[in-house]
Amino acid sequence: MRVLPLAFILLPLIVGCQYDPYAHLFTTEKPQSADVVGRYSLTKQTVVAGGLSAMKGQSCCVELRADGTFTAANVPPWDGDSPGTTFFDELRSGTGTWRIDNVGSVDDGHGPLKTHWGIHLDVDSHVRLRSAGLTGKKPPYGLIFTLGDPDSGMVMILERN
């Protein structure tokens, strides 16, 4: 009989403990536009095995300009929930305008949800690019593309050069 009450206490802890392994990096205070301007390059990917060598020489970078325009090369497409085996063949490039906006929320377990700030990449053509979350608590910030279920830890992380 003592086992049953213990099971009711432990079960929610076991079942409900899903957590994005990169959530601690997320920017939760809105930065100034001037603080995110710059060139960002891929430094880590966990989408497939092989790290950066899986990119097969492709350069993944995003340049955010002070005038609100951007250039992006080999970033994740907007469509698709979970990356497939041909993910790196589906990367997109484009130009357009960027803006800082809400890209999600973070629950740290200590109060209300916190806004996760990021960069929306608005392209003028038919190509749609995935929004990138911002990382860091202060400049220089980084960018993170989360793919599929956030709890899976599939990301592409870019750092400012």
**What's the pLDDT tens digit per position in 79-119?**
666 777 778 888 889 999 999 999 999 987 778 999 999 99
> Residue 61's pLDDT is what?
98
Residue segments in the chain with a per-residue pLDDT below the cut of 70: 1-18, 79-81
Q: What is the CA radius of gyration of the chain?
A: 18
Burial of 18 by CB count in 10 Å (0-12 exposed, 13-18 middle, 19+ buried)?
exposed
Q: Is residue 12 part of a domain?
A: no
> Where in the sequence is the domain holding 56, given as residue range(s)?
20-160
> Residue 18's pLDDT is what?
58
> Residue 137's pLDDT is what?
96
Bridge partners, residue 64, by sequence: 38, 70
Q: Is residue 7 part of a domain?
A: no
Q: Is residue 2 part of a domain?
A: no
> Residue 11's pLDDT is what?
39
Q: Is residue 116 part of a domain?
A: yes
Q: Is residue 13 part of a domain?
A: no
Q: Is residue 29 part of a domain?
A: yes
Q: Is residue 5 part of a domain?
A: no
Q: Is residue 117 part of a domain?
A: yes
